[in-house]
Amino acid sequence: MEAPGPSSPDSFLATVRRHLKGLDSREQLEILREVADHLEDAAAALRESGLSDKTSTETAVADMGNPAEVGRRLRDEHLARRLPWRHGLLVALPLLVPALGLGEC
């Protein structure tokens, strides 16, 4: 078996994964599955247009762009989704503390 080259889906996904630090393993796996599915769909569409398996896979990977940048962007998007919940908690905390009687000594 050949080692994955720079245009292989496995190499692309490995690089994306290295840039998902800060996310838990469940989130990382979800992102990697989405990226892998996208690569598979793009390669399938290219095969249907007449490209060979190898060329369609390499083109699908290349069309995704820089895997490090893709990983960072996806990580940042997932981290940003967490912030509204945390921001809401920080805003509500001063109201919750007295209501729950936690501010009394």
Alpha carbon 62 to chain centroid distance?
A: 17
Are 38 and 63 in contact, with CB atoms under 8 Å apart?
no
User: Could you tell me the two tokens for 47?
Assistant: 């095969």
Q: Give dist(CA 66, CA 87) in Å, integer.
A: 32
Q: What is the pLDDT of residue 94?
A: 64
Give the confidence band of 87 by pLDDT, cuts at 50, 70, 90: low
Strands (E), 1-105: none
Q: What is the pLDDT of residue 3?
A: 44
Are 11 and 5 in contact, with CB atoms under 8 Å apart?
yes
Q: Which residue ranges make up each domain of the chain?
A: 9-99
pLDDT in tens, 5-55: 557 999 999 999 999 998 999 999 999 999 999 999 999 999 999 999 999
What is the rounded average pLDDT for all residues in the chain?
Answer: 83
Q: Which of 30, 55, 35 is nearest to 45 (CA)?
A: 55
pLDDT in tens, 48-79: 999 999 999 999 999 999 999 999 999 988 88
Q: What is the pLDDT of residue 101?
A: 60
Per-residue CA distances from 65 to 17, 31, 98 (Å): 15, 16, 51
Percent of the chain with pLDDT over 90: 64
Q: What is the pLDDT of residue 75?
A: 92
